[in-house]
Amino acid sequence: MKVLKSTVIENKLVSNRVYKLSVNFESAIKPGQFFMLKTLDNSFLLPRPISVNDVNGSIVSFLYRIEGMGTKKISSLRVKDELQLFGPLGNGFDMNKLKGKVAIIGGGIGVAPLQYLLKVLEKKADLYLGYRDSENMYNYSELKLYANKTVTVTEDGSFGQKGFVTDYVPYDLYEVVVACGPEIMMKKVIEHCKKNKVKCYISLERRMACGMGVCLGCSVETKSGNKRACKEGPVFCGEELI
């Protein structure tokens, strides 16, 4: 883990309230890991956790949606501005476990960590994307590029199939399922995978303060006790989660 100041290479609006931020970072990063990001003006005290969206040589990119003060402030950064990065943090996906037929399910802004994962999997995984509507299809064209095949579902049917993406995955065809999205979606994925006896790995979001395993603010209840999403997670085996 490094704590460093980096310079903004790009920070642009790519969709409704969603920005892509790119900075220089020279160190190994695993898909599913995240960084704590902070502007240097101390306008917000705690850094905010954002997943790695992609890595290209020494450039790391993030895809984030404005939710409150922290992300709003980060969105105001301009090219050549400095920001503080802590990371890479968290366990990330264990690539040795993503073998055989892999399905990746993403929902809403939860798709953010999936681009780098799909890229490392070299077009071998099938991708199932769930969005609210055609206006909020974050990262869609890039994700599609790196998937073996893509099934897209919008809640209102304005693009692709209509309904919830979790109802469109033929779970029994897969050896492993990976998912990242809203909590209700993660619960459904775990239920379906249990029913179909398929292993699943879920990337969870928790409010984080330190991001380094110290404050215990990001506890997740598991069958083997409480775990820290920032340290032992954010990726957890679905059957471990309570």
Ligand X SMILES: Cc1cc2nc3c(=O)[nH]c(=O)nc-3n(C[C@H](O)[C@H](O)[C@H](O)COP(=O)(O)OP(=O)(O)OC[C@H]3O[C@@H](n4cnc5c(N)ncnc54)[C@H](O)[C@@H]3O)c2cc1C
Which residues contact ligand FES (rule: CB under 6 A)?
208-211, 213-218, 228, 230
**What is the x/- site pattern for ligand X, positions 101-120, by CB under 6 A?**
--------x--x--------
Largest CA distance in the chain: 51
User: Considering CB distances under 5 to 8 angstroms, the limit depending on partner class, which of ligand FES, ligand X, none binds residue 228?
Assistant: ligand FES
Cα–Cα distances in angstroms (integers) from residue 132 to residues 58, 77, 122, 175, in the given order: 33, 28, 28, 28
Rounded CA-CA distance 234/88 in Å is 12
β 34-39/82-89 pair status: antiparallel
Amino acid at 231: K
Residue 44 beta carbon to ligand X: minimum distance, rounded to whole angstroms: 6
**What is the x/- site pattern for ligand X, positions 32-71, by CB under 6 A?**
--x-------------xxxx----------xxxx-xxxxx
User: Considering CB distances under 5 to 8 angstroms, the limit depending on partner class, which of ligand X, ligand FES, none binds residue 144?
Assistant: none
In the chain the first and final C-alpha atoms are separated, in Å, by: 29
Closer residue to ligand FES, CB minimum distance, 188 or 228: 228
Rounded to the nearest 10°, the torsion over CA 104, 180, 18, 64 is -120
Residue 227 beta carbon to ligand FES: minimum distance, rounded to whole angstroms: 10
51 Cα distance to chain centroid: 5
Closer residue to ligand X, CB minimum distance, 19 or 174: 19
User: Considering CB distances under 5 to 8 angstroms, the limit depending on partner class, which of ligand X, ligand FES, none binds residue 210?
Assistant: ligand FES
**What is the x/- site pattern for ligand X, positions 184-223, by CB under 6 A?**
---------------------xxxx---------------
User: Considering CB distances under 5 to 8 angstroms, the limit depending on partner class, which of ligand FES, ligand X, none binds residue 220?
Assistant: none
92, 235 in Cβ contact below 8 A?
yes
User: Considering CB distances under 5 to 8 angstroms, the limit depending on partner class, which of ligand FES, ligand X, none binds residue 3?
Assistant: none
* H helices, E strands: number in the chain: 4, 16
CB-side neighbour CA atoms (13 Å) of 107: 24
User: Considering CB distances under 5 to 8 angstroms, the limit depending on partner class, which of ligand X, ligand FES, none binds residue 213?
Assistant: ligand FES
21, 61 in Cβ contact below 8 A?
yes
Residue 102 beta carbon to ligand FES: minimum distance, rounded to whole angstroms: 28
Token readout for 142 is 């890039």
Write out the residues near ligand X by the rule CB under 6 A: 34, 48-51, 62-65, 67-71, 109, 112, 205-208, 234
